[in-house]
Amino acid sequence: MKKTDMKPKTIKILGFTYRVHVCDQSQFPEGFRDNNVGHVHHDTSDIYISTKCSRENQISILIHEVVHTISSKQGLNLTEETVIRLETGLFSFFSDNDFQPFKVLDEVDEVDEVDETLPECGNEIAPGIDIR
Ligand SMILES: [Zn+2]
């Protein structure tokens, strides 16, 4: 079975399912094959990542395309430079901490008992929305 015949992995972004294709750039949609190592196609919910990049770069590209998608779906209109800066920051945070959100929270719950004397943690960006 050729790699391109394999079923793509899917991820959810803001409730929308996106197929992730790690493939040769010749498989990217027309108009996005040259000078692009990653591309998100919002109309078809497909994310393309070039096989010519290292695994680390592929992960960074995936983060980049996820940031683009959040920007688009939330109407943030982030510039390419801002998307790149968020990609770099998030990739660094995830890789430097071997970050696996749900696993990390499970480990914290096992070690630390909840201190009932502490005030409830809220979301300071959007008060009233609990992000835990
Ligand atoms: Zn971009």
CATH classification at residue 85: 3.30.2010
pLDDT band for 5, please (50, 70, 90 cuts).
very low
The rounded Å distance from CA 64 to ligand 1 centre is 6
Q: Rounded to an integer, what distance in angstroms lies between the CA atom of residue 63 and that of residue 57?
A: 10
120 assigned to some structural domain: no
In this predicted structure, the answer to whether residue 57 has a pLDDT above a threshold of 80 is: yes
HEC per residue, 83-132: HHHHHHHHHHHHHHCCCCHHHHHHHHHHHCCCCCCCCCCCCCCCCCCCCC
- Between 30 and 132, the more confident residue is 30
- Containing domain of residue 68, as a range? 8-107
130 assigned to some structural domain: no
Q: What is the DSSP track for 33-80?
A: SSS-SEEEETTTTEEEEETTS-HHHHHHHHHHHHHHHHHHHTT----H
The rounded Å distance from CA 61 to ligand 1 centre is 9
The rounded Å distance from CA 95 to ligand 1 centre is 20
Model pLDDT, residue 40: 96
The rounded Å distance from CA 32 to ligand 1 centre is 12
Cross-strand pairs, 19: 10, 46
27 assigned to some structural domain: yes
125 assigned to some structural domain: no
- What is the arithmetic mean of pLDDT over 40-45? 94
Predicted TM-score of the model (pTM): 0.74
The rounded Å distance from CA 9 to ligand 1 centre is 21
The rounded Å distance from CA 81 to ligand 1 centre is 8
Q: Summarize pLDDT for 68-77 with one digit per residue, the tens.
A: 999 999 999 9
Q: Rounded to an integer, what distance in angstroms lies between the CA atom of residue 105 and that of residue 35?
A: 39
In this predicted structure, the answer to whether residue 54 has a pLDDT above a threshold of 80 is: yes
Residue 47 corresponds to which tokens in the numbers above?
Answer: 């994310």
Q: How many domains does the chain fold into?
A: 1
The winner for highest mean pLDDT among 72-76, 98-102, 124-128 is 72-76
35 assigned to some structural domain: yes
123 assigned to some structural domain: no
- Between 116 and 14, the more confident residue is 14
Model pLDDT, residue 53: 93
121 assigned to some structural domain: no
In this predicted structure, the answer to whether residue 92 has a pLDDT above a threshold of 80 is: yes
The rounded Å distance from CA 74 to ligand 1 centre is 16
The rounded Å distance from CA 83 to ligand 1 centre is 6
Model pLDDT, residue 35: 82
